């Protein structure tokens, strides 16, 4: 079956309902495009979950409501032609490319006023630097779920807090959808794959590996220590390590329980960590189990 490209909300919903009436399972991978191997690994996982007879939908939408006024919405990398080629090669059944005018009708005139807000897991970390970010994420994901009608949706572990927030939204609002978090894919030097890596030019690309070096340092420290390490002390060490790179500036580092994101004061095996670092003007995030 040839891959379908769908741009209208109504057409996507009709297609999803047609598949549902036929008893076809739907796997969904929401993205903002500029696809890389990490995204394609999510497609592979979705295919595994729904099987050959199922349908895999990937959405490409740079969602304006999750960007702040000083963020890179207008500059976010886009290459739809290349993305569609990758989707065809990967066996995606349908690519949903919605339009702003349909996703947020009347927003520019102030007539769009309905948002989905998660008030627990979305606090802290990303929300501190990016207020309103998760309101945009949960709203667009809820809308996409209503349009695509998936049985299962696959998110990447690189955005750990985002996946946790979406999972909580699905539970609290009774979406009949299974949320899967797939492992982070990394470059050979450890840098987590990200569309924003395109921004890293010259020596900035090398300096960006400091995020992975921080993760390795924490894991090594936790393994070698006979008892948990105070989080406060560890954060001081990590800030010094990060900012030893000329272009690097720490946004945050947090240690927490992986399921409910509750911060921990003592860091040991089983804890989870997340960090955000500016490399020049590019803000990168990463996370890992300790």
Catalytic residues: 39
Under a CB-based contact definition with an 8 Å cutoff, are residues 122 and 33 in contact?
no
Instruction: Name the phi and psi angles at 153, rounded to 5.
Output: -125, 140
d(CA 248, CA 259): 29
Beta bridge partners of 186: 192
Phi, psi of 232 (to 5 degrees): -60, -45
DSSP designation for 95: E
Longest distance between any two alpha carbons in the chain, whole Å: 60
Check if the beta carbon of residue 147 is closer than 8 Å to that of residue 96.
yes
How far apart CA 129 and CA 124 sit, in angstroms, is: 9
For residues 192 and 195, what is the distance between their CA atoms, to the nearest angstrom? 10
C-alpha–C-alpha distance, residues 182 and 158, integer Å? 9
Bridge partner residues of 256 (DSSP): 263, 272
Report residue 267 as tokens: 């860091």
**β-pairing verdict for 152-156 and 178-182:** parallel
> What is the CB-side half-sphere exposure of residue 1 using CA atoms within 13 A?
12
Give the span between the Cα atoms of 64 and 46, in whole angstroms.
Answer: 26
């Amino acid at each position: 079956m040839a891959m379908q490209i769908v741009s209208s909300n109504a057409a996507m919903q009709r297609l999803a309902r047609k598949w549902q009436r036929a008893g076809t399972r739907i796997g969904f991978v929401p993205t903002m495009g500029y696809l890389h191997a990490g995204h394609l690994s999510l497609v592979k996982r979705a295919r595994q979950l729904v099987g050959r007879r199922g349908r895999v939908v990937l959405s490409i939408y740079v969602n304006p409501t999750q960007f702040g006024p000083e963020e890179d919405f207008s500059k976010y990398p886009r290459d739809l032609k290349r993305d569609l080629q990758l989707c065809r090669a990967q066996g995606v059944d349908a690519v949903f490319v919605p339009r702003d005018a349909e996703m947020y009708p009347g927003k520019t005139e102030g007539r769009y006023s309905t948002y989905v807000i998660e008030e627990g897991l979305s606090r802290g970390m990303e929300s501190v630097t990016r207020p309103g970010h998760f309101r945009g994420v949960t709203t667009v994901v809820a809308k996409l779920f209503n349009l695509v009608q998936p049985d299962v949706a696959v998110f990447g572990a690189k955005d750990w807090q985002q996946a946790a927030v979406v999972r909580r939204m699905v539970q609290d609002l009774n979406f009949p959808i299974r949320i899967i978090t797939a492992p982070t894919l990394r470059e050979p030097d450890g840098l987590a794959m990200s569309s924003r890596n395109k921004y890293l030019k010259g020596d900035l690309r090398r300096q960006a590996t400091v995020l992975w070096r921080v993760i390795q340092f924490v894991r090594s420290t936790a393994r070698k220590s006979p008892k948990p390490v105070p989080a406060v002390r560890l954060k001081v060490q990590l800030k010094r390590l990060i900012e030893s790179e000329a272009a690097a500036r720490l946004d945050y580092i947090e240690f927490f329980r992986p399921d409910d994101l509750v911060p921990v004061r003592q860091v040991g095996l089983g804890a989870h960590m997340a960090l955000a670092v500016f490399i020049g003007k590019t803000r990168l995030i990463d996370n890992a189990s300790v």
